[in-house]
Amino acid sequence: MSTEDHQQLVARIDELETRLAFQEDTLAQLNDVITSQDAQIRALVARLKEVTEKYQDLSFEVQKGLKPGDEKPPHY
């Protein structure tokens, strides 16, 4: 292997190592974004569940004039 071939090989390895470092950094950044978005989605899902339950309670009140907890059991 000549000195020129050796230098080209070293240059290629350096380029590959540089690309790998950038890819690892990009993956870490993407992981951070995904983690943040997952937390936001979980919070939104929980909030949507709360809002849905409140809507159902209000809808029941409007239709029956009562809350579900105010209903008499069937044996009355």
pLDDT digits (tens, 9 = 90+) for 30-47: 999 999 999 999 999 999
Rounded distance, CA 40 to CA 34, Å?
A: 10
Q: What is the pLDDT of residues 3-24, one digit of tens each?
A: 999 999 999 999 999 999 999 9
Amino acid symbol at 54? K
Enter the pTM of the model. 0.62
Q: Give the rounded distance of the alpha carbon of 58 from its chain centre.
A: 30
Is residue 68 scored above 80 in pLDDT?
no
Q: What value, to the nearest 5°, has the Cα angle with vertex 49 and ends 44 and 55?
A: 120
Residue owning tokens 């997952």? 38
